[in-house]
Each structure stands twice: as structure tokens, then as C-alpha cells.
Chain A
Amino acid sequence: MKKKRFVYPLALVAVSLLLLLAACTPESRSSSGTPTAATGEEPKVTLDFWTFWGSETRRPIIEKIIDDFNQSQDRIMVKHTYLPFGDIWTKNLASIAAGNPADVIVNDYADVNLRASKNQNTDLSSYLAEDDIESRFYPELWNNVLYEDKAYALPFNTDTRLLYYNKEAFREAGLDPEQPPQTWAELEEYAQKLDKKSENGYEQVGFYPLWGDFGVDSWLINGDGGNGYFDESDQAAINTPGKVATLEWLKSWQDRLGRQTVDAMKADFGSGVSDPFISGKVAMYIQTGTYNTQIEEFGQDLDIGVAPIPEREAGSGHWSSGGGFVVEIPKGAAHPEEAWEFIKYLTDVDAQKYWAMENFDNVANIEAAEDPEANENPVYQASVENLADTKVFQVPLSASGYKDLINPHTDAVFLDKETPEQALEGAEKDVQALMSKNQ
């Protein structure tokens, strides 16, 4: 009798502990593996490659590139793991902290230096010493992967912004469709000619600077001679005359159209067929090079042209802004040499050219980007040429989090709560306070 009483609860505890252990083992990540027919006799090294490219368009492309790599040699087998865009960053952080990170990961270009300072990616200098591939990349992009003059990632792709304009609308308004606006003054002039007003609002707005993929920060670069918020010596350069003038110019557009109109129209914008440019609500629209795929899918009847971003005045420069992604080896990855082989392949001409041609995305490898076959598409060619004027900025480490301090001030300008001078003065003061705290 006594034994029975003890066995029961003990068995229950054992079972529940087993369940606890089962629940606590690391979950197998969802992955779509490439065929694992291993024919070689040497032990294969398997690499885990994390990306967030799971869409119907991108996934097959990256998986073909991985497949090509796997077929091209015997030692390394790369496995693709897809993680959703927001999740991938936190999972990466957690896995590095836990000591079992991915072998290669696609990460954001903007904070390579922040991650490097926090020991989250691997210094590639020793690999580059034997294999100096720096020259295959655009110099602007190369600067962004440096931390203390050492490379911690390789640039993979980038983008640039162009002015898309509706040639049909130009003809209707009596403008020459082959002569897009070159300067801010021309831009304003053409925009006003392209405005089509009706009793209850605008049927077509010629142009509004902040609709599209060119925000206040991008315009401030364009209007201030290609200079971002921080100058060469990592000092804050926010309250400059060029930027104040730019902000005033941007505000004048809102004053002319009326804030209510701007907000109301913007809220109606969608994507696909209800995209403002594709549906004809806006005649000129700034967007990235890959926007062309949307036009080809949803707006085949449109007669469009692209142009570099208008410069402030003749000669000040058609500055555009860009972003992009890099490939890096998380710190603590098990097979860094093999991972290096793979990222070398990813950034080499074949893989990059395939990516460029299938996606119409701007790639980091110069030879692949300027390949004549890809450049047959005029919009793509324009985007590649535009890279020369595209600024891609690295944020100084002491200013991490600067956006949350600048944006409220620039928002305030468009809400009539601060003048452009006050806004930029306030923003510079706040950012400088942040930087001195972090020194």
C-alpha cells in the first residue's frame, strides 16, 4: 500500500519533467533545404543562411543562387532559413548571445558599425588580407561596412531613388515629355502646370515632395550638397543654411496645397493598382529603382520616364539617397572560413548579376551592376547610373537613436508648430546632447 502511494506522484512528476524538457529543447527552425544528395566522401560542412526573403518573387531567386553555389563545389552545403522581416533581427541577437548563431545572415547596411561594436559580427580583415575583394564594390557601400577601418560585412545590394514622371500627363500639360525637370525651380513650375483641380479637390497633383520614397532626411541631403546629418569628422551638421532652406522649400509645397488636402490624399494612397502614380493621381513621383516592377505589373499602359532627382540649382548635384543590405558572419559562427567562401560567392559577379536581372535590384558588385545584359532595361540603366549620385550614410556610434530626436522637430514644421530654423536648431541641440552623453 505504501509503495503504491509513492509511485503514483513520482511517475506524474517524472512525466511532467519530461514534458518540460521536451518543451524547452530548441525548436527546429522552419527551413526549405536545397537537395541534400551528398556524394562526396569528405564530411560536408553545412552552413545555415538566414534571410527574410520569403516572398514569391525573392525566395526562388536566392534559392537558385544557393543551389548554384552548392552544385559548384563539394565541401560546403548551404541551407536557406527564412525568417520574417521583424523576427530575424531579434532571433539573430538571441542566437548570438546563446552561442549558436547562423553561419551567414543578411542584415541592414545602416548599423554594421553598431553591431561590430557590440561583438555581433565577425571581422573580415584576415580573410580580406588574402583575398582583397574590396575593389569589386561601390566605394560608398564599402564605407558602410567599416568599423574602425576594418570590414565587418560585405555589401550585397542597395537602392537609389529616381524621379518617375508620367509622359502622357506631360503631353497633356504642354510639357516636353523628353525634358524632365532638372532643377527645383523647374520642378515647381512643371508641378503647377500638371495640377488638375476639380470642385472637390485635386484630380491630379503634379508633385508633392514628401509623397513617395523620399523623406525629409533625403531631401535635406539633396538640398545641402549631398551632406547628411553628420559631417566627415562625425560632428552633427544638422542646422546648416542648406538644410534650413530645403526645409522651408518643402514647407512651401504644403502651404500651397493645404495641409488637409495633403493628409487626405495621402491617406487614400495604396499599393498595386491604387498606387498614386500608377492610378494617375500624381504625375511625378520619387521612388526606388525596383518600383519599376510594380509599374510593369500594374500599370503596363503607362508611358513613363525616369530622371535623376532634380538639383537645387544648376550644378549643386542630383543627390539621391540609398539603403541596402549586407551579408555578414555573426560572431561565434561555427564555420567562418566556409562562410567566407559563401559570402564571397554571394557578392561575386555571377550571383550578383542573377540577382540584378531577376529583381531589377541594384547590386553592390560594380561589374555585375554595369553588365550590358541587365542594363537593357532603360529604368534599370538609369538606376545604375544614379548610383554615382547616391549617398549612403553610416551613423556615428555616439549618435545612435538620433532619428527619434530629429523626427519630432521636422514633424513639427509640417504641423505649423516650429519654423524650419527652430526645428533644425532644436534637432541639432538634442543630437549633440545625445552624442556628448555617449562619448
Chain B
Amino acid sequence: MPTVTTDAIALSNVLAELAQRQLPCGGWAALASSSQPAIEPTCYAALALGSLPVGDIERAQDFLLRTQNPNGSWPVVPGDDQEGGWVTSLAVIALRDLVPSISARLQGFHWLLNCSGKESNWLWRWKFRTADRHVRFDPDKYGWPWFPDTVSWVVPTAFAILALNQIPCSCGDLERIPVRVDCGIQMLFDRVCPGGGWNAGNGVVYGRPLAPHADDTAIALLALSDRGQDPIVQRAVQYLERVAPTLTAPWSLAWAILALAAHRRPIAPLHDSLSALPDLSSTEDTGTLALACLALDYSRALSAFGVTG
């Protein structure tokens, strides 16, 4: 793991702002101007606050436990349909250190295990093989969708892999996890952009290679932190190392720091850049604010994501 000196002032400022944005219900809204709690920013915030004496982590965890759907999944916002969505992976990661959440997490793992991209169905696989060939991908390799009954995409797949890798044992029905995770990893490899790295999941469309995105690449690389020797992963890391110093937006920069740290690449200049971003604490997007906290305290963050680096 590379070492950098954490800019304690920058971190404490963003943590204080993050704590201030916590809503009375215990969750966080996606935007500072909003009062509607949402699961994604709440998970990042809960991971960022962790065991620190800032904010009210217990209230955050309680909020997450309260909002779980009966089928074990989590909604994007409270009151959403009860079929669940991609944020389920983030919720089970955010609840990882909480003993009373064991049962809720198990339900979440089971939901994830039974959720897959629509191309896992033979009929859709056949369609993608024969009639719908404009986006180049192998439908045999499927991951997780943003929400049920749609196809697999890179980000939900990467988050699901990170979540399922946190299961301490593979007893009972959970025995299927390694196979399912491996299928997701093969899907990530299949959807890689020809020049290295990932975007949402369309590497080639109408014969034209599409460009990768820094944040999507970083999230995929976090999920593939134990596959550092694979040439696909190495090219993605090279892409991220190349593009990260040019990033001026805290969301992508924070994800890049986490991924490069997980792959043992030097991150000190990126860390300094993130600390020095003007108005970081006044970022409207609360998810971004929480991610900045995680990146500024990356070793704890990687541990929370279950990435050993």
C-alpha cells in the first residue's frame, strides 16, 4: 500500500461538512439542497464516517436497516418500488461492521446472488447473438444490472463483486457465490474498452470503439484488485494513471485514488490535488463529498470496501 501524508485539515473540513448534511432520519440526500434521503450517498457517508467520532453513524446504519426491502434488496430512495436495485451492494458493504446487521446483510447477499443481467436468460442470449449485434459483447458473460429485468453494466457488476467478496463463508446456498462472482469478472473483462479501461459497459458500438471513463474504470479496478497480473487489468491501471492527473472533478479523482491505491500505484500527487481542490466542502453532490473523505483516508476506505491492496 503506498503511503502519503493525509491532509488532516482538508479531511476534517469535508468530514465536518458531511456530518452537517446528515438528515434527521439518519440518511443523506444526494444533493445538499435536497431533503430526500437516498441510499447511495448514505452508504458512502456511512463508510466515510465509519468509526470516526463525527456524525451519527448509528443513526445512519439504523436508517439503512429500516429501508431494506422485504426481499432483501435496497431501494434507491425510501418509498421506491420494492423490487430493489443496484444500491443493494453498497448497503451490504456499508453495514459490514455492524453485528445486528448480519441477518439483513445475508438477505442482501441472497438477493444479489439471485439477481443477474437479463442476458443470463437463454432467450435474450439468443437475441443478442443473432438479431442485436450493434453493441459488441458476449452475452454468455453476465454480471449485474442497475435494477432487475435489464442487462448487466459495469458499475453495478463491480459493486456486486465487491459486496459478495465480503462474505465470510460460503455455506448453504452461498456456495454459488464464487461461480457467480467469476461470471461477473468475466463480464467485466468482456466489456473492456479496446484502448483499455471501462465506460458504462459499451466498449464497441457500431464497430466504433468508445472511450473509457475514469470513474467506471476505477470502480471496476477496485473489484479486480486481486487480478493485478491480468493484462486487461494492467492496461486499465495504465489508462487510469495516465488520465488521473488531468482530472479536476472530485468524484472521478476520488475513485481514481482509491483504485490506484488498491493496485499499489503512487497516489501522493493525486491526493494533494484532491486536498487542494477549491470549494471541496461546498460540493453540491453529497456522494462526491463522502467519496472525497474516503479518498483522503484511503487505507481505511479500502478496508471498508474489503480491498486489501
Partners in one complex: no
Which positions in B face A, CB cutoff 8 Å?
none
Which positions in A face B, CB cutoff 8 Å?
none
